[in-house]
Structure 1
Amino acid sequence: MNARKLPAWPYPFWIAHRGAGRLAPENTLAAFRLGAQHGWRMFECDAKLSSDGVVFLLHDATLERTTDGAGSAGARPWGELAQLDAGSWLGRAWAGEPIPTLASVARFCLRNGYHLDIEIKPTPGLEAATGHAVAALAARLWQGAAAPPLLTSFQPAALAAAAQTAPQLPRGLLLDALRDGWLEQARQLGCVAVVCQHALWDAGTVGQVRAAGLRALSYTVNDEWAAERLIRLGTDGVVTDRVDLFSPA
């Protein structure tokens, strides 16, 4: 099967994981700024909903690992989440760094010409609601932008809600295993990309994705040998923590 001619891809190959990987507190504006200082122009982040409907950045379902809070992040209103320290866990230099809203990250990216990969990371049970909220907000914030954010998720229900809410925004299905029907599911969700754990890609899977007219992206690529393998396979992007190792140029 011959691969389809793919439409132009507006995003850089190199994507900084959670802002600046492990060099700054993940999913904070400090991490985005540090990644930008290293020359990175596209960033990945995790977005979820507060109990009162504010879209904010956090990876985990709970607050303990990356803030001084405790319990379910999605069970707290934004007024409480905004008061938490999301930096001290990584060191005193980051003390007092707040959890950002997606809106504040959007302003940073839009004013500086940066691209964003927003992973929809719902609190369990809020997959559709989070997909809807993230897509609606992203559509409003990036209205008229030349390169809107790429919306990705491991949760098909979140991507389906995003597609229903803002079908014009590009979407990518995240996979940690090639389960039965993975490619057909990506197509049914109207995705433009499949984003796999990097070891899952080989010439055959890249060929399948390309034949379907989709792009092949990888996470989380922190070794030079792995990045070189993905480049040889002709993939379209890698998400990495190692903003200090790889040159995004």
Structure 2
Amino acid sequence: MTDTTAPDLPAWPYPRWVAHRGAGKLAPENTLAAFRLGAQHGYRMFECDAKLSSDGVVFLMHDATLQRTTNARERIGAGHSAVGGDHPWHTLSQLDAGGWHSRAYAGEPLPTLEAVASFCIRNGYFLNIEIKPTPGTERHTGEAVAHEAARLWQSQSVQPLLTSFQPEALMGAQESAPALPRGLLLDSLWTGWLECALTLGCQAIVCNYALWDESTVRQAQSAGFRTLSYTVNDEWVAERLIALGTDGIITDRVDLFTPA
């Protein structure tokens, strides 16, 4: 298969291999424990999900609701809102975000973006922050996450990559911190995806890996975009994406793939 990498793309400072939500499924996702485990496997770049507490603190969580990855039902009570964005950080900081995974991680807290930034900066790691808004707060969350990321990484030569499935969230990020690199996440190639990424000033397209073929890689790279894929957990998929000349592979299988 022909390597389609465009020779005139801007410099890309990030590693090819990215640990999904820290260490994917081997540790509780979106926790510092997961980041540490990914680092033990040799990963230097991590993907995480960021959203806002009701009082504006940026913290890590994938789901809109708290039930799957915390003990909110016990701690907050079934009669209260299960939506993470409905609670102040003081309440969220008391939750156990590790016990659901295994006893070894019981008591692991939800981390703030500030805590993750400290970990990454001190160790020279890179970060892909997926902006994961509570529904209805897309633009505001994009603005807040970008503003916080710009503040935390202001003295660093390489900034975090901000991505989202929500164009409105990326629009907020673009207005709040235009210097931070952005990427449009896609689970399908909906009409106008390339034009949307251009309008948003993105540097990358991050696709479900099945969407990349020679044609789509060529389209994206010809338009000046770097090409990344999620979530790649099989060797044959990774080999195909590398042969296509894509730039980044996000994986749960930090135990399978050794990052170069």
Query: Which TM-score bucket, shorter chain as reference?
Result: over 0.9
CA–CA distance in 1 between the matches of 2:228 and 2:6? 16
Which residue pairs with 1:83 in the alignment? 94
Q: Distance in 2 between matches of 1:213 and 1:98?
A: 39
The letter for the 2-side match of 1:68 is N
Matches within 5 A, 1:47-66: 47-66=50-69
Partner of 2:128: 117
Alignment-mate amino acid for residue 204 of structure 2: A
| Deviations, residues 45-97 of structure 1 (Å, cap 9, x unaligned) | 00000000000000000000000014000001000000000000011110000
1:174-189 equivalence runs, <5 A = 174-189=185-200
Write out aligned runs for 1:164-203 (5 A): 164-203=175-214
Deviations for 1:193-213, whole angstroms, at most 9, x for unmatched residues?
000000000000000001101
- Which string of whole-angstrom CA distances, capped at 9 and with x for unpartnered residues, describes residues 149-203 of structure 1? 0000000000000000100000000000000000000000000000000000000
Alignment counterpart, residue 105 of structure 2, candidates 94, 115, 126: 94
What's 2:140 paired with? 129
- Partner residue of 1:155 out of 152, 156, 166: 166
The secondary structure found in structure 1 opposite 2:250 is strand
Aligned pair partner of 2:154 in 143, 160, 163? 143
Q: 2:83 aligns with which of 55, 63, 72?
A: 72
Q: What displacement does 1:144 show?
A: 2.6
What does residue 34 of structure 2 align with?
A: 31
Counterpart residue number, 2:16: 13
Q: Distance in 2 between matches of 1:226 and 1:215?
A: 18
CA distance in 1 between counterparts of 2:6 and 2:243 reads 17
TM-score scaled by structure 1?
0.98
Residue 49 of structure 1 contacts residue 130 of structure 1 at CA under 8 Å; is this kept in 2? yes
**In structure 2, what residue type is equivalent to 1:213?**
G
Name the amino acid aligned to 1:11.
Y
8 A Cα contact 1:4 1:211, kept in partner: no
Query: Structure 1 residue 30: deviation in Å?
Result: 0.3
Q: Which runs of 4+ in 1 moved over 3 A?
A: none
TM-score where L is the length of structure 2: 0.94
Query: What residue is the counterpart of 2:79 in the other structure?
Result: none
